[in-house]
């Protein structure tokens, strides 16, 4: 047999087309992945977030404080809420409930009327500098026209600049160093990639290697198979965590203000989430290619909607709702909170319980989808 035969080519083409048509799961995933990318990049991702949660502490109620709050709200960058004390505001900032805290001091009106140009402090959560960059610029752009309507007549005619100052205090990452923001988030991203993809191949590898029958004939229950399969990868995940933490501190200078033991404990829960999800994909998929595609199908929204690449606060409500259901979103907040803010369990508890719920649900689905027979 020599030369190129068009008939043989058509025969092979026909055979492969039939094989592809039978593999509907692969075709579906291949079509869905680009559609997800289009919708995420087109609708969900925004590098200039607005309506950022902002706390207000005011030492007085006056026309000037109301004018200032109205001006901030009108920029479109700030959604204001009142706090009764500095301790309450600091706790909200540490938890990530607010990204800014505006502190209007007592005697502000008196000092403005006397021409003393008082200072207003605005604390900003700089763990993600991109999220607050445009909003901080909008604060600095406020000038004398904010209070112009209510200023005494002599001050309205002065040309000495704004009658007050706003000092933006960037907390947790005052120099806006990108590595300090990105590296803690990488802990969750790298662990997600390795544990989810590797675990997704465990059962499909058995099936393709022809050893599935031996596994099914053993006197073991689905939960026992699941734990036996994934436990080795828990150790592998912790090896990655220790390596990433060591390099982060030694090379990139990431500060460690909180408890490493607490971070490691929570990372164990995060690893369990990924392993359970990967095992679920492994039991659903028929081939290793399908398992890898399912893993990619889960990793892409996690990367995009977790706040790792684009500010979480800039996403529409529907995208944030999806992001809140993803373990990666919560582990990134926890890692940044513990390492950069020194958060304890009280501050991270709101991000721990969603991961626990996810781990239990994923484990239940994995056990339910595990097939004890080949039928």
Does 254 score more than 80 pLDDT? yes
Nearest one of 101, 64, 68 to 86, comparing CA atoms = 101
Query: Could you tell me the CATH number of the domain that includes residue 68?
Result: 3.40.1710.10
| DSSP letter string, 315-372 | S-HHHHHHHHTSHHHHHHHHHHIIIII---HHHHHHHHHHHHHHHHHHHHHHHHH--S
Give the pLDDT band of residue 353 (cuts 50, 70, 90): very high
Number of domains in the chain: 2
Selected residue with higher pLDDT from 180 and 226: 180
What is the arithmetic mean of pLDDT over 302-314? 81
Give the pLDDT band of residue 199 (cuts 50, 70, 90): confident
What the block records as the tokens of 67 is: 């004018």
Boundary of a domain, candidates 117, 148, 171? 171
pLDDT of residue 303: 83
Q: Which domain holds residue 108?
A: 52-171
Same domain, residue pair 57 and 189:
no
* Number of C-beta neighbours around residue 356 at 10 A: 15
Please check whether residue 39 lies inside any domain of the structure. Answer: no
Give the C-alpha separation, 206 to 122, whole Å.
58
Q: What are phi and psi of 155, to 5 degrees?
A: -75, -25
| H helix runs in the chain, sequence order | 6-22, 24-39, 63-74, 86-95, 108-113, 129-140, 153-156, 178-200, 202-209, 212-217, 222-250, 260-284, 288-305, 317-324, 327-336, 345-369
Give the pLDDT band of residue 373 (cuts 50, 70, 90): very low
Same domain, residue pair 203 and 318:
yes
pLDDT of residue 210: 62
Give the C-alpha separation, 51 to 183, whole Å.
26
Same domain, residue pair 165 and 181:
no
Please check whether residue 24 lies inside any domain of the structure. Answer: no
* Averaged pLDDT score across all residues of the chain: 79
Give the C-alpha separation, 215 to 207, whole Å.
10
Helical (H) or strand (E) element with 169:
strand 165-171
| Cβ proximity of 167 and 120 under 8 Å | yes
Please check whether residue 222 lies inside any domain of the structure. Answer: yes
**pLDDT tens, 330-341?**
999 999 999 999
Residue positions counted in the chain: 375
Selected residue with higher pLDDT from 16 and 304: 304
Same domain, residue pair 128 and 217:
no
**pLDDT tens, 94-123?**
888 888 998 988 888 888 778 788 888 889
Same domain, residue pair 78 and 186:
no
Give the pLDDT band of residue 34 (cuts 50, 70, 90): low
Nearest one of 147, 184, 172 to 162, comparing CA atoms = 147
Q: Which residues of 118-149 are buried (b: 16+ CB within 10 A; e: fewer)?
A: bebebbbbbbbbbbbbbbbebbeebebebbee
Question: Rounded to a whole number, what is the largest CA-CA distance in the chain?
Answer: 102
**pLDDT tens, 265-286?**
999 899 888 888 888 888 777 7
Boundary of a domain, candidates 110, 142, 171? 171
Same domain, residue pair 117 and 214:
no
**pLDDT tens, 40-50?**
666 666 667 88
Same domain, residue pair 167 and 184:
no
Same domain, residue pair 123 and 190:
no
Per mean pLDDT, which range of 55-64, 189-198, 205-214 is the poorest?
205-214
**pLDDT tens, 126-160?**
888 877 888 888 887 776 566 666 666 556 566 55
Report the SS3 class of residue 259: coil
Task: State how far the alpha carbon of 257 is from the alpha carbons of 36, 180, 281, 311, in Å.
Answer: 37, 12, 37, 23
Boundary of a domain, candidates 132, 153, 171? 171
Same domain, residue pair 150 and 185:
no
Please check whether residue 143 lies inside any domain of the structure. Answer: yes
Half-sphere exposure in the Cβ direction for 336 (13 Å, CA): 30
Please check whether residue 302 lies inside any domain of the structure. Answer: yes
Per mean pLDDT, which range of 34-38, 180-184, 312-316 is the poorest?
34-38
Selected residue with higher pLDDT from 179 and 88: 88
Same domain, residue pair 144 and 277:
no
Same domain, residue pair 303 and 189:
yes
pLDDT of residue 374: 45
- pTM for this entry: 0.78
Nearest one of 154, 122, 121 to 54, comparing CA atoms = 122
Same domain, residue pair 167 and 315:
no
């Amino acid at each position: 047999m020599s030369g190129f035969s068009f008939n043989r080519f058509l025969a092979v083409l026909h055979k492969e087309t039939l094989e592809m048509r039978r593999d509907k799961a692969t075709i579906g995933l291949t079509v869905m992945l680009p559609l997800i990318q289009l919708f995420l990049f087109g609708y969900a991702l925004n590098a200039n977030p607005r309506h950022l949660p902002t706390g207000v502490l005011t030492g007085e109620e006056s026309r000037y404080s109301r004018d200032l709050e109205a001006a901030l709200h009108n920029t479109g960058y700030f959604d204001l809420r009142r706090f009764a004390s500095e301790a309450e505001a600091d706790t909200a900032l540490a938890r990530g409930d607010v990204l800014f805290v505006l502190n209007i001091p007592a005697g502000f009106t008196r000092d403005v009327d006397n021409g003393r140009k008082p200072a207003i402090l605005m604390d900003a959560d700089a763990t993600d500098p991109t999220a607050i960059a445009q909003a901080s610029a909008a604060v600095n752009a406020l000038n004398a026209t904010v209070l112009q309507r209510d200023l005494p007549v002599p001050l309205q005619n002065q040309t000495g600049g704004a009658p007050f100052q706003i000092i933006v205090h960037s907390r947790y990452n005052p120099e806006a160093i990108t590595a300090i923001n990105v590296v803690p988030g990488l802990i969750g991203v790298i662990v997600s990639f390795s544990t989810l993809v590797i675990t997704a191949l465990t059962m499909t590898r058995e099936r393709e290697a022809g050893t599935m029958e031996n596994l099914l004939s053993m006197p073991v229950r689905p939960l026992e198979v699941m734990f036996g399969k994934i436990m080795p990868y828990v150790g592998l995940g912790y090896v990655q965590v220790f390596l990433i933490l060591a390099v982060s501190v030694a090379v990139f200078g990431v500060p460690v203000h909180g408890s490493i033991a607490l971070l490691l404990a929570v990372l164990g829960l995060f690893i369990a989430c990924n392993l359970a999800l990967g095992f679920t994909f492994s039991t659903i998929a028929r081939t290793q290619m399908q398992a890898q595609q399912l893993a990619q199908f889960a990793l892409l929204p996690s990367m995009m909607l977790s706040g790792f690449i684009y500010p979480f606060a800039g996403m529409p409500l529907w995208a944030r709702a999806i992001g809140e259901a993803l373990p990666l979103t919560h582990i990134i907040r926890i890692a940044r909170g513990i390492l950069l803010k020194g958060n304890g369990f009280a501050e991270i508890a709101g991000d721990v319980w969603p991961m626990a719920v996810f781990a239990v649900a994923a484990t239940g689905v994995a056990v339910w989808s595990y097939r004890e027979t080949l039928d």
